Chains A and B, each alone.
Chain A
Amino acid sequence: MKIAMTEYLRINTENEKWECRVCDHEIASARGNYKEGLLVYDRDPTEIHPPIIDPEKYRFTFSPDPEWVRILEFCCPHCGTQVETEYAVPGHPPLYDMEVDLDALKAQWAARGEAAIPYAGPAVVREDGHGH
């Protein structure tokens, strides 16, 4: 069974792997940290959040301070999809962010049955009222 865990990651309960939902690449063991199977880039945050006021003139510019924070960009080694970002203090070990109890997950989904696509949640629909 394949269980969509995030926008780009699923767990395959048969081979017990984290897989890429975009390209089906096998990323890492589902009993461990999916990040171990991804590529990482240390992004200067000023490239994503550009200065709005002149950095030559001002101390604060709407850009994060690249000596205080970095963006770790994690991507799929096969298709290059950006699976996760982590705003990190320089040198802070990346987080093991989703530590799944795989056996519990299997049991929970065995009772549910596989879902083709995850439910996006209820839509807010406009009610135009009662008309004649």
Chain B
Amino acid sequence: MNDMSNSGRGKLPSAEDMALIKKFLNDTTLFLGPDPEIMQNHDLMPRSADEEAAIANASDAHTIAKIRDRIQSGCDEGYEMVEQMGAAPGAKWGDVITGVYSASGDLAIASAGGVLIFSALVHHPIKFIIKNWMNDPTVGVREGDGFIHNDSRYGNVHNTDQSMILPIFHKGRLVCWVASTVHEGENGAIEPGGMPSMAESPSDEGLKMSPFKVVENYQIKRDILTFLQNSVREPKLQYEDMKVKLFACLRIKQRIEETLNTDGPDALVSTLRLTMENVRAEVKRRISEWPDMTVRTYIIQDSTLRENCVVKINCKLTKTGDRLIFDFRGSAPEFTNRATNTIVAGLKGMLAQVFLCYVWPDLPRGQAAFAPIEVITDPHSIVNCSYDAPNSQSLMSIFTGFTAGQHAVAKFLYSCPEKFTKVHAPTFNMINTFIWGGVSQHGETLGNLCADLNGMGAGATVDRDGEHALAPIFATMADIGEQELNEEEVPFLQLVSKKMTRDAVAPGKYRGGQGYTMMVATKDSEQWGFMTTAQGAKIPPLQGLFGGYACGTYPLSKVQGVDVYDVLMNTPEKFKHSIEEIMNEQPFEGASYTTHHMGMGFEISKRGELFMISQGAGAGYGDLLERDPKGVIKDIEEGLMSPAVAARLYKVVFDPETLAIDEAATEAARAAERKARIARSKPYSEFVKAWSKPTPPAHLPYFGAWGDDVSVLYMGSPQKTREAATPRPNYMTHPKDVRIAELEARLAALGAMGGEKQ
């Protein structure tokens, strides 16, 4: 008899035997991979005995508030240090977080500025250290130690982000941890900049640091540092920023020590614990004020960054009493060889932003705000990918997952009398910016990105238009670096920047904030190139709110076979400042003008070739026929919309010369349009009979569940499926092979293959 035939009635090993088996297994583990027990759990650790004792000793609310403020300002001070001294462009605009974690590894207090997505992620590597290295005689956790980490599978957004983690001791007792995290960029992956969209397996994603010790006695170990420097394209930056993060952690440590000296360790431990417990309890109270309801939405990703396809992010949000459950089942299956998958902790981190940045910005920043909220996903799905799946472009799924959450949450908030922000339509969610790399005019090897990903347009709110190019969804408190300073270090110019892209609108009673045009051209290097990593060139990545529209779509345009620097020198009048004019008028003779989706793999550029993109608009709110005509005219005056588009969409009648509004004619045109709507629309039941189909259309490569049935996931065609709960490989063919096959088929049809042997 083998154990497989044992139906559970056989003799079980004794507790003593079990302990022995467990010890044997632990002692002989050949590989300490990401621990599912750590990685699938985002809730707070249970109160430890140490915390219990500390709270019994010190729980005066005033003392705790005072200590919390001191720790908070310590975190903010550390954040400022990293932002001011960090070498990475990410650091300069605030793609950073610093924080203080409990002895069990939960993030209790995070810096007020920066990228809060980290707030739900860095606790995972700390818990890994606690579980695996603390009692390991070959590693250990001692005063003066520092641990480094970047491998997303152990808890990170993506492998560009590096953390420095320090344990803080008081008279030999571990009282807390401090950590500092920065989007460093370079990590030695197959494309520069650290976020390769060409990665087809984790082996293409460059440096993968599971949490390990890199600092002893507060000194960076030079031998390990040299190895890390050899593993990335920016060796100097690697060292500089490791030092910056270490010193930021040491500053926070200094602030903690001041508190330890004045109030003692129990007050500190108690503050960290109670801050988290109070926030968690407050979140449950706030949720209970929402209506009991289920809201459904979905967001479509229109590419894997390698090819266009239809990738569903499905979201069902249910609130019952004080429970809130995000159910992402029915989202696309994981792609085996595409980089847009995310680990589930990344999705949770971004969902936490919905609340910390957009719903309850008053709450102390930390892990607790999202701790009581539940998340369900299919295994090996695009929002909960496996260890073997590449995830260097996880942002695609993290951001679209965020938008699904943001869209669903708005429908709960409208009727809730208790609000901490205004109800708003989804914010633009794609990083429409240039990632760049190569050898600079100073001979330095560089790889990073333009901070303009900061320029995401805001969604419209219940009583106001969305703001233009406001902030990235993952860091509402981020700064923007100075492009002119950046241009001293990189061999390209942004020839057009911060000019709003006309007619790229998200209409509504209140319109979404718009995005701006970016045109870049390489100037002073023969070894320099760009990539873009965004979706949304065929299908908008947003939904509108309460009758408002989403944004449109945003392509990449290229002009090659021209040196615009020569044009600017010799015939400057030929240069135009909008994508619209350059692409429609084609002012440079002999140049090629092409458009592409926004997943451009790293491409070496020649001097003076133009790469042109636009930031996106946030979504609109409400029926556009209710928009104040004065607002429409203002948008025309500000160059956001052309008069023809404005008149056609908003049914505003105005004098084309003076833009004076004809109020009566506008009223009549709008009344007529409401009647026209009723005339052209069909009753729901009649409409769905003709519209709804049992499977995805055959002409679309569709991934994910169809309709209400989330038990089956489509994998690119109506015929190819998997059971949602049962993972299956999901390979994509190389786009060049697809193109070669198409062309060969055409040649064969023409009889032009020339009898080539197969």
A positions within 8 Å CB-CB of B = 3-8, 35-42, 45, 48-50, 52-54, 57-65, 67-69, 71-75, 77, 79-87, 89-101, 104-105, 108, 112, 115, 118-122
Contacts and interface: CB of A to CB of B under 8 A. Distances in A.
Contacts of A52: 501-504, 579-580
Contact of B688 (A93, A99, A104): A93
In the A-B complex, the 3 residue pairs with the closest CB atoms: A49-B552, A80-B674, A60-B555
Contacts of B544: 85, 87
A95 B296 contact: yes
Interface string B566-584: 0000000000000110011
A36 B552 CA distance: 27
A102 to B, nearest CB: 9
Contacts of B302: 68
Contact of B691 (A5, A8, A36, A42): A42
Interface stretch (B244-252, B276-284, B418-426): B418-426
B623 interface: yes
Given A4-B414, A52-B503, A65-B539, A35 B621 contact: no
A98 B411 CA distance: 8
Contact of B415 (A5, A84, A122): A5
Interface in B649-687: 649, 673-675, 677-678, 680-685, 687
B702 A120 contact: no
Interface residues of B, number: 95
Contacts of A108: 291-292
B697 A63 contact: no
B751 interface: no
Interface string B415-450: 101111111000000000000000000000000000
Interface stretch (B188-196, B520-528, B593-601, B631-639): B593-601
Contact of B684 (A4, A38, A62): A38
A120 B683 contact: no
Contacts of A65: 538-539, 553
B543 A53 contact: no
Contacts of B114: none
Nearest to A100: B293
A98 B708 CA distance: 14
If over half of A's interface residues share one DSSP class (helix, strand or loop), that class is named, otherwise mixed; here it is loop
Contacts of A49: 504-505, 540, 549, 551-553
A77 B681 CA distance: 9
B553 A60 contact: yes
Given A36-B684, A39-B682, A58-B595, A84 B546 contact: yes
A60 B534 CA distance: 14
Given A5-B415, A91-B693, 20 more contacts: A40-B681, A40-B691, A41-B681, A48-B552, A53-B579, A53-B584, A58-B594, A60-B555, A61-B595, A68-B302, A73-B681, A77-B683, A85-B547, A90-B700, A93-B688, A97-B411, A100-B291, A108-B291, A121-B420, A121-B461
A82 B545 CA distance: 11
Contacts of A90: 697, 700
Interface in B582-636: 583-584, 593-597, 614, 621-626
Contacts of B502: 52
Given A84-B546, A91-B696, A120-B422, A73 B417 contact: no
Given A40-B687, A68-B538, A122-B419, A97 B414 contact: no
Given A69-B300, A75-B681, A93-B692, A115 B417 contact: yes
A119 B310 contact: no
Given A91-B691, A93-B692, A3 B300 contact: no
B706 interface: yes
Contacts of A119: 417-419
Contacts of B546: 6-8, 83-84
A127 B437 CA distance: 43
A7 B597 contact: no
17 contacts: A36-B684, A39-B682, A41-B677, A48-B549, A53-B583, A62-B552, A62-B555, A68-B538, A68-B700, A69-B540, A73-B677, A74-B547, A87-B540, A97-B295, A99-B294, A104-B292, A105-B293
